Structure 1
Amino acid sequence: MSLTRLNAVSYLNTKPLVYACEEHLLVHNFQLIYDVPSICAQQIKKGNADAGVIPSIEYARSDAPYAIVPDIAIASNGPVNSIFLFHTVPVEHIKTVALDTSSRTSVALTHIILREKYHLRFTPIDHPPVLDRMLSIADAALVIGDPALECTDRPEPHLDLGEELTDMTGLPFVYAFWAGHHNRLDASDVHILIEAKKIGLTALTDIAAVYARTHRGSSTFYEAYLRDHLQYAFGLEEQKGLKAFYERAYQYDLIDAVPELHFF
């Protein structure tokens, strides 16, 4: 039997979704391949993966009709603590933004929040996530994921984009979810992914401890991030929040249409 190829995001925020598979805590037929969110989406599009954890904006931009694994998302309902827009000038004076393009959802969030809440248009500058260098060439810098976790003690003022969007919508925000081509996952695959999430959510202490061994933060800090700042449900409120995001993305010409959500 051939393996089902899954592209998973390499960030800590995805570990609760894949921990059970990595540790062989359940039987599965998955080959896990790790990358940043934007590359995960590209790999599915190219046919190099059957499904993956993709940024929510990529679902709306896909030419192919993707299906979503139900009940699983990477989401927040307030400060997310890993998507920061640092700035060296007052927000209302931002004219240039250095963008970490690892997740295009976060780039879209930056456009939406600065345009709708702060009435700003800016010149984007793509740049690797090295904050000092980013701020040396732009008024503001978008840093996401694990690199953002390393910047939480920086002195520069910053916006938490998860908090900003929830303030605007009153709803949770969905950053990413498992998705792929309709015929690439069967009911058993979907069930295993749902069970893997359930197991992962019981292992946050262990996940944080392992991560802390190779990063500068404490296991307590990383566990609080997973437990207090992230949510992994994909219920009706999360779907409403995702739709609100898509409507704004369409309004600001970031996607061509507001997509319907189709599930496996």
Structure 2
Amino acid sequence: MRFSVVDYLNARPLIWGLLEDPPPGVPVSRDVPSVCADKLASGEADVGLIPSIEYQRIPGLRVVGGLGIAAASEVRSVLLVSNVSRERIRTVALDPASRTSAVLTRLLLKRRYGLEPQYREGPGDADASLVIGDPALKARLNGHVVLDLAAEWRAFSGHAFVFAFWAVRPGVSQARAEQVVRASYDAGQRNFPRLVAREAAGSGLSEAVVEDYLRHSLHYELDAGDLAGLDLFYRLAAEDGWIERARPLELTLPG
């Protein structure tokens, strides 16, 4: 059973056990979110921590129950950073590593603010840029207009936003995958102080910032409210043509 995991700070509590003490015969590759999805789609990986939008684009995936990366309000690591006032945004540079955040940016600018700027992938000269992951946490934002996409989604929809979750390919044991990912997450919770210290040392962020981000900006145990927000996101994405149709989530939450 081959795993592809997101190599970002926000995923560390989920992947700690897989990285520190992987089960025998479970190779783990560290990737950006878009590559996780591509490996799952191509069959290079059996289980992946995928951008939530990719569940709708890869046929036959099943969700590994109950665990993902979600934010109830400000997430701090998924930002639209603009050099101009919001209403003057005409061009947006998207980060190709995060397909969910790219769709969320388009939906929010259109539906919350009535804006339909030109979009392109990758860095370059643009009025606003999508900044994700660890670079967003370290960004110096003085003098910029900043939209925190999870906070914007909350204000727009009333729901938390689910950025990623575990999924398995057809023919892969869902029960075994759930056992592995749950054990990995449980290991992260047991070793949380060690996790925080290591990530702070490696990232240049303080331990206080890392702990606050992982404990308060994010949550990993998905609930019915998270899934309701995800269903709405899928429906709007389908209406705007970013996915063909909104396939219902096949997921039973623990308990």
What TM-score, normalized by structure 2, do the two folds share?
0.93
Give, in angstroms, the shift of residue 263 of structure 1: 3.7
Structure 2 Cα separation of the partners of residues 100 and 250 of structure 1: 21
Deviations 1:186-216 (A, max 9, x none): 4233122113213313433322211122222
* Partner residue of 2:9 out of 12, 16, 20: 12
**2:206 paired with 1:218:** yes
**2:170 paired with 1:182:** yes
User: What's the counterpart of residue 199 of structure 1?
Assistant: 187
User: What's the counterpart of residue 44 of structure 2?
Assistant: 48
Aligned-partner residue type, residue 53 of structure 1: L
SS at match of 1:226: helix
Structure 1 Cα separation of the partners of residues 62 and 96 of structure 2: 24
SS at match of 2:199: helix
The 5 A counterparts of 1:1-264 are: 4-24=1-21, 27=23, 29-62=25-58, 64-128=59-123, 134=124, 137-151=125-139, 153-263=141-251
Deviations 1:226-255 (A, max 9, x none): 011001012211110100111111121111
Structure 1 Cα separation of the partners of residues 225 and 24 of structure 2: 30
Structure 1 Cα separation of the partners of residues 141 and 198 of structure 2: 21
User: Identity over the aligned pairs, expressed in percent?
Assistant: 35
Structure 1 Cα separation of the partners of residues 52 and 84 of structure 2: 30
Task: State whether residues 74 and 175 of structure 1, in contact with CA within 8 Å, keep that contact through their aligned partners in structure 2.
Answer: yes
Give, in angstroms, the shift of residue 70 of structure 1: 0.3
Aligned-partner residue type, residue 45 of structure 1: A
Instruction: From the superposition, tell whether residues 49 and 142 of structure 1 become closer, same or farther in structure 2 (CA, over 3 Å).
Output: same
SS at match of 1:261: coil
Instruction: From the superposition, tell whether residues 255 and 186 of structure 1 become closer, same or farther in structure 2 (CA, over 3 Å).
Output: closer
Aligned-partner residue type, residue 17 of structure 1: L
Report the number of matched residues: 252
Deviations 1:12-40 (A, max 9, x none): 1111111122222x745421101100011
Structure 1 Cα separation of the partners of residues 142 and 173 of structure 2: 42
Give, in angstroms, the shift of residue 173 of structure 1: 0.8
Give, in angstroms, the shift of residue 117 of structure 1: 0.6
Instruction: From the superposition, tell whether residues 58 and 241 of structure 1 become closer, same or farther in structure 2 (CA, over 3 Å).
Output: same
What TM-score, normalized by structure 1, do the two folds share?
0.90
Task: State whether residues 81 and 152 of structure 1, in contact with CA within 8 Å, keep that contact through their aligned partners in structure 2.
Answer: no
Aligned-partner residue type, residue 3 of structure 2: L
Structure 2 Cα separation of the partners of residues 234 and 246 of structure 1: 17
Give, in angstroms, the shift of residue 175 of structure 1: 0.4
Structure 2, unmatched stretches of 5+, are none
Task: State whether residues 97 and 141 of structure 1, in contact with CA within 8 Å, keep that contact through their aligned partners in structure 2.
Answer: yes
Deviations 1:106-128 (A, max 9, x none): 00010000000110001112114
Structure 2 Cα separation of the partners of residues 152 and 208 of structure 1: 22
Structure 1 Cα separation of the partners of residues 63 and 224 of structure 2: 14
Task: State whether residues 84 and 144 of structure 2, in contact with CA within 8 Å, keep that contact through their aligned partners in structure 1.
Answer: no
Aligned-partner residue type, residue 185 of structure 2: K
Structure 1, unmatched stretches of 5+, are 129-133
